[in-house]
Amino acid sequence: MQASLSFGLSVWRLVLAALALAFLVLGVLAVPATAQQVQENRIEADLVAENAPVPGETLWFALRFRPEEGWHGYWSNPGEAGLGMELQWQNLPPSWNVGAPQYPVPHVLTLFDIANHAYKEDYAVLIPVRIDESDAVMNYAAPTVNAQWLACSDELCIPERATLTVRFPQQGDVLRAQFDEHRAAIPPMLDRQGSFTLTGNTLRVAVPLPESVELTQPHFFIEQRRLSADKRPDYGGVQRFFRNGDMVIVEMPMSDFLLPEGSDLAVFPPLDQITGILAFDDAGNGVQLTAAPGEVPSGGTPLGGAMADSPLALLLGGALLGGLLLNLMPCVFPILSLKALTLARAGGSEAEAKREGLAYTAGVMLAVLALGALMLALRAAGEQVGWAFQLQQPLVVAALLVLATLITANLAGLFEIPSLPIRSRGGGSAFATGLLAAVAATPCTGPFMAAALGAALLLPVPQAMLLFAALGFGLALPFLLLGYAPALRSRLPKPGRWMETFRKVMAIPMGLTALALTWLAWRLGGAHFAFSAVALGVLIVVTLVAVSRGHRGIVVVGAVACIYFAASLPFRVEDRSFLAAESMLDPVTYSEEALAEARASGQPVFLWFTADWCVSCKVNEGVAIEREATRAAFEEAGVIAMRGDWTRADPEITRYIEQWGVAGVPLYVWFPAGGEGEQLPQVLTPDALVDRAEAE
C-alpha cells in the first residue's frame, strides 16, 4: 500500500505540474496578438560579446537576463515545471560554430509543492562561439538570435521572446569588466569524470572532488530529465551526500512514471553519460561535472547538516539514552513491569534469570533492527517514511488493537494461557515480550532520540544500523540488568497475593491502550474498519475463553467468525479525506506554500507536527499547546499557529521534518517575526510557548 501510495503521489505531482504550467501558459496565449506585441517582458534580456572576433579563437557571448522583482527564469533543466531557454541564430557566418550555453548555479524554488531550478536575481548565460582559422570575413552583419524563455512569478507564468543583436565592446566599454563577473558566476568543469549507478529508485553519483573543498549546503542539479524508460529525478526529494576521501557521493531519489502502452518514449537506451552542477552552498558556488556508468563507492562521512556532523559516539549515546527513557513511557512500562515481576515470582536460579534477560534483549533488538532495516530499505527504494511509519498503516494498527485486546482480557483474568509472553517464564516467553515491547515503543520518541534517528536517515547503512542497535539495547537494558544483577532482583517486591491484584490493575492501562488503538483505527480506516478490528479482537477473546472452558461448539463458531473478520479487514479500509483533530489554536494546515505565506506576513509562526498515534505528541499538546493561556498569548502577539498531521503517510511532511534532522514526530519549530526558524525541544514545558509569544 505504501509503495502504491508513493507512486500515486509521484504521478499526481507530475500531473499537477503539467496542468499548472499548461493553464498559466494558455491563459497568456489567449491574450490578443496585438496586446502581446506591446506587452513588456518581465525578464529583460540583451546579448553582448566579450571582444571582437579573432579567427582560430573562441568568442564568448553573454545572454544577460534581469528579472523584475517577484519574477524568475529557469535553468536548462527547469525541474518539475517551467520551460528552458530556446535560441535560433541568424546572420551567423558559416565559419562560426555555437557551443552549448553555460549557466550559473541555480537555486531550488519550491512553489505549490513543485520543485523548480530557477534564478530570481540577475544572471547571465555564457555561449561559446568557435571561429575557424580560415575565417577571413571582415565585414559582416552583427549576429542576432531569436530567444524564447519562460518568466514566472508565484502566481503567473508568461512565455516571453525577443530578437537580440550582439553588441560588441567599444573603446573604454565596461563590457569586459562585466564579463569577468559573468565568467566568475559560471561553475568550472571538473577535469575528471565521475561515475554513476541507478539502483531501484536511487541514483548514486561519485564526484571526484578534493577533500579540502567544503560543502555546507550541497545540492545536485542534474541536467537529464529521464534516467531510464520509467525513472525520472524526484526534484523535491531529499538528497544525501557523503564524503569518501577525495570523492563526494551523491544519492538522489528517483520517481516512477507511467507511459502509455506502445509509446515511443518507452524505448529509452541506457545513458552513457549524465551531466549537472554540484552546488557547494546557497551562495552560487559549485562545479560542473560529467559522470559515466560505473562503480560508486559506499560509505563515507555524511555531509549537509549539523546533525550529520555530530560524532558517531555522541549519536550512539543519544540513542542509548533514548531507549532507556522509552521504558518510562506509557506504551512500554506496563509490559516491562509485569515481565520484571515474573522474575520475582519465579525465584529461579541465577542461570535462568540470565537466560530471560538475554532472551528479552534479543527480542527487543531484533524488532528494533528489523524496523530500522525496513525503514532504510523503503527509503532506498524512494519511499518517504520515518520512524513509526508502520503505525500509519491501518492493518498494522488493527493487528496491534487485537493484540492489546488479547493482553487486556488475559490480565483481567477472563482466560488463562500460561504461555502468554508477559505472564510466563522461559526464554521463549521473554523473547516474545521483547518483540512486543519494541513494537509498542515505536509511537514514543524520547528527548535524546531525535538526533540519533535523524542521523540514521543520512548515515551509511552499517552506521545507521548501529544506531538502531544502540536504541534497542537501551530499551532492553533495565530487564537485562535485572537478569544479571541479583542485588537488583532482591529489591523487587516479594511474591504474594498482591501480584494478582497488580496484574488486574495493569489490565486498565492495557485496556486504555486498546481504546486508543480503536480510535486510531477509526481515524485511519473509518468506522466500519474500526468495528471489524474490535470485533476480531473480541471474537478471539471469546474463542480463547471457550478453549479454556472446553466449549468446542463455541470454539468452532468463533474460529470461523475470526477468519471471516480477519480476511475482510483489508477491504474495509475507507478511502476518505483525513480530518485533523480540532484545536483551540485554530491552526492553519501545513504546506510549503502555507508556511511561505505565513512567514511573508511578518508575524511570528508556531509550526508543530503531530500524529494521533504519537503518545509524546499528545502529552505535549495537553501540557503546553491546547491551553487557554497559550491561545491568549498567541492572540496578543499575533502568532500564526500551523499544524502538520502525520497520522497518515505524507511525503511532503516527511521531507520537511527530515530537513530539521529528525526522523519522526513530534517536531516543534518557532519562526520569529521576519526571522529564521528555531527547533524547540521535543518535551515542552507548560509555559514554553507562552514565554515565546510574550517575547515577540
Q: Is the pLDDT of residue 607 over 90?
A: yes
At residue 509, the pLDDT reads 81
- The phi-psi region of residue 478 (left if phi > 0; otherwise alpha if psi is between -120 and 50; otherwise beta) is alpha
At residue 9, the pLDDT reads 37
User: Which of 130-139, 178-187, 192-201, 648-657 shows the lowest mean pLDDT across its residues?
Assistant: 130-139
At residue 192, the pLDDT reads 93
Per the CB < 8 A criterion, the answer to whether 445 and 682 are in contact is yes
Handedness of CA 394, 400, 404, 405 (dihedral sign): positive
Q: Is the pLDDT of residue 230 over 50?
A: yes
Q: Span 72-76, mean pLDDT?
A: 95
At residue 40, the pLDDT reads 82
Amino acid occupying residue 290: T
Amino acid occupying residue 416: E
Name the grid cell of 376: 532504510
Per the CB < 8 A criterion, the answer to whether 281 and 216 are in contact is yes
- In the block, residue with C-alpha cell 514566472: 152
At residue 448, the pLDDT reads 53
| pLDDT tens digits, one per residue of 339-387 | 776 666 555 578 888 888 898 899 999 988 998 888 788 766 656 666 6
Name the grid cell of 411: 490480565
For residue 693, give every residue at least 6 positions away whose Cβ sits within 8 Å of its Cβ, in sequence order, or none.
604, 630, 633, 634, 636, 637, 639
Which ranges of 209-349 would DSSP assign to H, the alpha helix?
312-326, 333-346
At residue 35, the pLDDT reads 33
Q: Span 229-248, mean pLDDT?
A: 86
Q: Span 440-453, mean pLDDT?
A: 61
Q: Is the pLDDT of residue 171 over 70?
A: no
Q: Is the pLDDT of residue 99 over 60?
A: yes
Q: Span 475-495, mean pLDDT?
A: 83
Name the grid cell of 558: 468463533
- In the block, residue with C-alpha cell 519494541: 438
pTM, to two decimals:
0.54
- Give the distance, in angstroms, between the CA of residue 265 and the centroid of all CA atoms in the same chain: 30
Q: What is the mean pLDDT of the chain?
A: 81
User: Which of 176-185, 329-338, 465-474, 589-598 shows the lowest mean pLDDT across its residues?
Assistant: 329-338
Per the CB < 8 A criterion, the answer to whether 488 and 341 are in contact is no
How far apart (Å, rounded) are the C-alpha atoms in residues 302 and 618? 33
At residue 392, the pLDDT reads 83
At residue 513, the pLDDT reads 82
CATH architecture of 2-185: Sandwich (2.60)
Q: Span 394-401, mean pLDDT?
A: 89
How far apart (Å, rounded) are the C-alpha atoms in residues 260 and 264? 9
User: Which of 160-164, 201-205, 626-630 shows the lowest mean pLDDT across its residues?
Assistant: 201-205
How far apart (Å, rounded) are the C-alpha atoms in residues 668 and 657? 10
At residue 596, the pLDDT reads 84
Q: Is the pLDDT of residue 643 over 80?
A: yes
| pLDDT tens digits, one per residue of 497-556 | 777 788 788 888 888 888 888 988 998 888 999 999 999 999 999 999 998 888 888 989
86: confidence class by pLDDT, cuts 50, 70, 90: very high
237 vs 599: which has the higher pLDDT: 599
Q: Span 592-599, mean pLDDT?
A: 87
Per the CB < 8 A criterion, the answer to whether 149 and 120 are in contact is no
Amino acid occupying residue 280: F
Number of CB atoms found within 10 A of residue 391's CB: 23
Which class is 588-695 in CATH? Answer: alpha beta
| pLDDT tens digits, one per residue of 191-225 | 999 999 998 778 999 999 998 888 888 999 999 99
237: confidence class by pLDDT, cuts 50, 70, 90: confident
In DSSP terms, 256 is beta-bridged to 231
Q: Span 394-411, mean pLDDT?
A: 87
